[in-house]
Amino acid sequence: MSVPPVRIGLVGYGKGGRLFHAPLIGRAEGCVLGGVVVRSPERRAALAADLRGVPIAGSLTELADVGVDAVVVTTPLDSHTQLVREAVGLGLPVVCDKPFARDAATARETALAAERAGVLLTVYQNRRWDADFRTVQQVVTAGALGEVRLFESRMEQPPQPEGLPVTGGGALLDLGSHAVDQALHLFGPVRSVYAELHLTPEKDGFDEGFFVALRHDGGTISHVTGNWARQGDVGPRFRVDGAAATLVVPDDDGQTARLTTGRTPESEGAAWGTVPESRWGSVHRGGVAVPVPSQQGDWSAFYTGFARAVRGEGPPPVDPWDAVAALEVLDAARTSAATRQVVEPGPTGRPA
């Protein structure tokens, strides 16, 4: 007997909801888009043109009334906490887009509120399902590099025609939520943080770039760089130095670029998230570089995992306390940049 799909409601149909969530929900195994909260007449018209027959709601309560099983909050950062708590109050399992919150204290209270209510909460750390990151994870886990000493990660892009994306809280919060999550996912908790921010004075101190150095409890050092408006060529996406070898992965799998130009997992099928051999990474040992076949990226896997969790068949695809831990590190990075000192992050993880 087939299991009915989980009806997922989407809150917001701006760039994030329209390009980066709706196509993935529609593609994910066990999911169907059950409705969208959108108030703007222009965005309602866009939704009707893109996805005929998908119910349109004016609020989370209306969305619950059309019978969705869970919701995704994909609105500007400042509305995340209120909308997540509203969904929790309605008893709806909820995905919060990243950044989860502006600071770790707010994130912790939100995660605790969901736990007290017994409502499933997860955070959209989709970059765990990048081909490049999955390749790094495979090589590191296999022990091919020996003990990892230095992990370098760059999330950089050239200036965009629409300018800086100011609704995500700045590059440190927006890009940093992904980059720090990846570092913690690979190498565990952090004992110290040093950071530098590249501020944009004309935007009231908005940070367009950052450098963060993390010392993990296990001894690995992570150097994480992000930039919204990098001029010129960028460095390799990842470089991982181990005691026995070095892994270099030059580029990502292009899921962002594809979705931005209207290409989707549905339109590309099995080719989605694949990386051509010319862009594979390589392991360098003794002056010899050996290509490493790329893993396949697939952000829709997040939603497949979420659907299973909603049905009670497994854990959430991302533990919300992982997002709290990343925000503790980002809070420490902001303090470090302001004081020009090495900072110890606050308490991380689920409280005892």
Q: Which residues, including other chains, have CB under 8 Å from residue 198's CB and lie 6 or more apart?
A: 171, 207, 208, 209, 210, 227
Beta-bridge mates of residue 213: 194, 223
Peptide bond before residue 99 is cis, with ω within 30 degrees of 0: yes
Sheet order of strands, 31-37 included: 56-57, 31-37, 6-11, 70-73, 94-97, 121-124
Q: Is 293 exposed, middle or buried (0-12, 13-18, 19+ CB in 10 A)?
A: exposed
Note the pTM of the prediction, 2 decimals.
0.94
Q: Where are the domains of the chain?
A: 6-126+302-328, 128-294
Tell me how far CA of residue 90 lies from CA of 22, 60, 82, 84, 244, in angstroms. 22, 9, 12, 10, 53
Tell me how far CA of residue 273 lies from CA of 51, 148, 270, in angstroms. 23, 27, 8
- Per-residue pLDDT of the chain in tens (352 residues, 90 and over written 9): 578 999 999 999 998 999 999 999 988 999 999 999 999 999 999 999 999 999 999 999 999 999 999 999 999 999 999 999 999 999 999 999 999 999 999 999 999 999 999 999 999 999 999 999 999 999 999 999 999 999 999 998 777 766 667 777 889 999 999 999 999 999 999 999 999 999 887 666 788 899 999 999 999 999 999 998 776 667 799 999 999 999 999 988 989 889 989 898 989 999 999 999 999 999 999 999 999 999 999 999 999 999 999 999 999 999 999 999 999 999 999 999 999 999 999 776 677 6
C-beta atoms surrounding 14 within 10 Å: 16
Q: Which CATH superfamily is domain 6-126+302-328 in?
A: NAD(P)-binding Rossmann-like Domain (3.40.50.720)
DSSP annotation string for 275-296: --GGG-EEEEETTEEEEEPPPP
- Phi, psi angles (nearest 5°) of residue 215: -110, 115
Its CATH architecture, for the domain 128-294, is 2-Layer Sandwich (3.30)
DSSP conformational letter for 3: P
Which structure tokens are listed for 18? Answer: 């329209």
